[in-house]
Amino acid sequence: MAAGNPYLLLTPGPLTTSPTVKQAMLKDWCTWDKDYNGLVQAIRQKLVALATKDADAYTAVLMQGSGSFSVESVIGSVIPKDGKLAVITNGAYGNRIVQMANVYGIPTAVIDCGEVGSVDPRQLDDLLARDAAITHVMAVHCETTTGMLNPIADLGRVAKAHGKVFIVDAMSSFGGIPFDMADWQIDFLISSANKCIQGVPGFGFIIARRDELQACKGQARSLSLDLYDQWETMERDNGKWRFTSPTHVVRAFYQALLELEAEGGIAARHERYAANQRTLVAGMKRIGFKPLLEEAHQSPIITSFVYPESSAFTFAEFYKRLKESGFVIYPGKITAADTFRIGNIGDVEPADMERLVTAITQHQFWR
């Protein structure tokens, strides 16, 4: 456990950060200063390099707020007034996309796969063949409602076969699962500072095809969340944000990017996260807990477990005792089953998962 932390955050973000990421926030920065704006530009370049080998075709823009702010900035800015959005959902975050589109009055077609259902790209193919009005397709890569990993590469092939713009919420996967945006035919990718890059909350980011982003000029339904204007300002003014940026968070994120590089990049981080997840599941199965998802659909980001079959078990007491032992986990987020979730990402190692299982073993009060 990092020095000074009362517990490990075993959650999908905010998550446990390194001492050096925390330390990076101890210096104040001026939003107009060229050193700070140069830092922003370096971050943008590093993000594109992480996302694709075809760096010239893509660009990055940072947006204030939580990850949901960045998702909404894309929905409200990218889809034109005469556009229509198709959304594939199998959890709360896909449903939130639909809710955002509805707030903006954007016509939306939904493929609802249920809370624990896997996505079948053939459903998207059928929908796009039937509904020529659809202009954009959007899906979540890792649905942290359950830990489900969705087949984004297959969805991208289907979307492009029908000539649609493809948008991916990679909030909980970018930086922790290797892929190339160009290979997966993603036009807009959305993520957040406090996920697999292992920064702290305060801003999200969008990595986009330049030509598709440039086509969004004048389409935004919000002033603060105007994706094109935010990007144009950063391009024109060499890293300047339109409105006050979270300077300390940005500096911490830059440090987190350096630490990702030092770890060996996304592939190495993915190996650690996958080892965390395997260690956790093996230990939890050993003491009688069952994962919610089949292994084929499980991400290395967060794992859902079904409550034990005991009327004495309550999540509130379980949470309380684990927190006292130095671990914070997540409640479940589905209606179909009683579950809780344990994050596998952040500045944590397989040994931390082993310590967690030991703590749970010691607190089996429901036996």
- The SS3 call for residue 19 is helix
Q: If you write DSSP's letter for every residue of 198-223 in order, what string do you get? A: ---SSEEEEEEEHHHHHTTTT--S-S
How sure is the predictor about 4, in pLDDT bands with cuts at 50, 70 and 90? low
* pTM score: 0.96
Q: Which of 62-66, 282-286, 336-340 has the lowest mean pLDDT?
A: 336-340
How many CB atoms within 10 Å of residue 288?
13
pLDDT for the residue numbered 3: 54
Q: In this model, does residue 1 exceed pLDDT 80?
A: no
Looking at residues 131-145, what average pLDDT do you find?
A: 97
pLDDT for the residue numbered 331: 93
How many CB atoms within 10 Å of residue 10?
26
Residue spans of beta strands (DSSP E) within the chain: 8-9, 58-64, 85-89, 108-112, 136-140, 142-143, 148-149, 165-169, 188-192, 203-209, 290-291, 302-306, 327-328, 330-331, 339-343
pLDDT for the residue numbered 12: 87
Instruction: Summarize pLDDT for 23-65 with one digit per residue, the tens.
Output: 999 999 999 899 999 999 999 999 999 999 999 999 999 999 9
Q: If you write DSSP's letter for every residue of 70-122 in order, what string do you get? A: HHHHHHHHHS-TT--EEEEESSHHHHHHHHHHHHTT--EEEEE--SSPPP-HH
Q: In this model, does residue 355 exceed pLDDT 90?
A: yes
